Structure 1
C-alpha cells in the first residue's frame, strides 16, 4: 500500500490496482486492471486521476470519458464498489478494460522528446489539428507545430498532396488523426517550434527555422 495526497493505492493485488479513500470525493473508488506494464505505470495513471478528481471535484457518471494526456480513458462500472478504467482502442471503435495502450503511447511520446532533450507537450482529444489531403491515406508526412490557441494542438500535417492552396486544408479533431495515423502518434508531443518529416520510412526531427 502506498499513499498519494491522502488516498491509499493498493499495489498488492495481482489483477487490479485500487484506490481507497477516493470515495470521499466520489461515490466509489477506482481500480485499474493490471496488464503488461510495470506497476509504476499503473500507479502513475491512478495518480493522474486522483489529481484530476481532487482538483476539479467532478461529478463522475458511468461511461464518462477522461483525457489521460494524449489518450482517452473512460469510467465504467464492473463492480458496484469501483469505477473501472477503460481506454479507447487504437482504431477508436470501442473501449477496452485497462490502460495499456495509453501507457505505451504516453511513454513513446515522452521518450522521443527526452531523446532530443526537449520538453514534452501532450496534445489532447479536445484539440484540433490542421491536415492536408493524404494524411488519412497514410502518405509520407511533414508535421510542424506552431504556438496556437488552447483549442488547437498547434500541429499542421502536410503530405505531397498539398497544392499550396491553404483553403484546401482541413481542421479536424486530434482523435481522428490519432486513430488513422498511429505511426505518427509518438511525434505529436514534440514542443511548439519543432517539426518532423517521415519520408521513405526515414524520420527527421528538427527545429523549425521559418
Structure 2
C-alpha cells in the first residue's frame, strides 16, 4: 500500500505524510455502510488523531456524524480510501467507481 500512496502523492505534487496506523480517523456511518462517493479531508493531526475525516454522500454538521475509528480498521471497512491517506494535512479527495479526484484546500490548515 505504501507504494500506491507514494504514487498518489507524487501524481498530485503532495508531500508523503502517512498517518500512524494506531491513530484515529473520523468516519461517517454512510462510509462504513459502503455508500459512495467517498470523500476525505485532512486537518492537522492532534491528540491521537490522523486529522482525516471520511464520509459518503452529503456532509452533515450533526455532531454525531463522524465516529472515531482506529485507522487500521479502514482496511476492513473502507479500503478504497487507503491509497489517499498519506496525503498531508490540507488535502482532500473524492473517490467513486472509475473516478478519483484529489486537491489541496489550504483552508483546512486554518480551521
**Fold conserved between structures, TM > 0.5:** yes
The yes-or-no answer on 1:127 pairing with 2:19 is: no
Q: Which residue of 2 aligns with 1:153?
A: 50
What's the offset of the Cα at 1:202?
A: 1.4
The yes-or-no answer on 1:186 pairing with 2:83 is: yes
Larger of the two Rg values belongs to structure = 1
Q: Under a length normalisation based on structure 2, what TM-score does the superposition of the two structures give?
A: 0.84
What's the offset of the Cα at 1:138?
A: 1.8
Q: Under a length normalisation based on structure 1, what TM-score does the superposition of the two structures give?
A: 0.47
Q: CA RMSD in A?
A: 1.7
What's the offset of the Cα at 1:150?
A: 5.0
Paired residues for 1:1-210 under 5 Å: 105-139=1-35, 140-149=37-46, 151-160=48-57, 162-199=59-96, 201-210=98-107
Distance 1:193 1:146 in 2: 6
Asked if structure 1 preserves the Cα contact closer than 8 Å seen for 2:18 and 2:86, the reply is: yes
Report the count of equivalent residues. 106
SS in structure 2 at match of 1:166? coil
What's the offset of the Cα at 1:128?
A: 0.3
Structure 1: 4+ residue segments shifted above 3 A? none
Q: Which residue of 2 aligns with 1:80?
A: none
What's the offset of the Cα at 1:162?
A: 4.8
State the structure with bigger RCO (CA 8 A, min sep 6), 1 or 2.
2
SS in structure 1 at match of 2:32? coil
Any unmatched runs of 5+ in structure 1? 1-104
What's the offset of the Cα at 1:209?
A: 4.5
Distance 2:69 2:32 in 1: 11
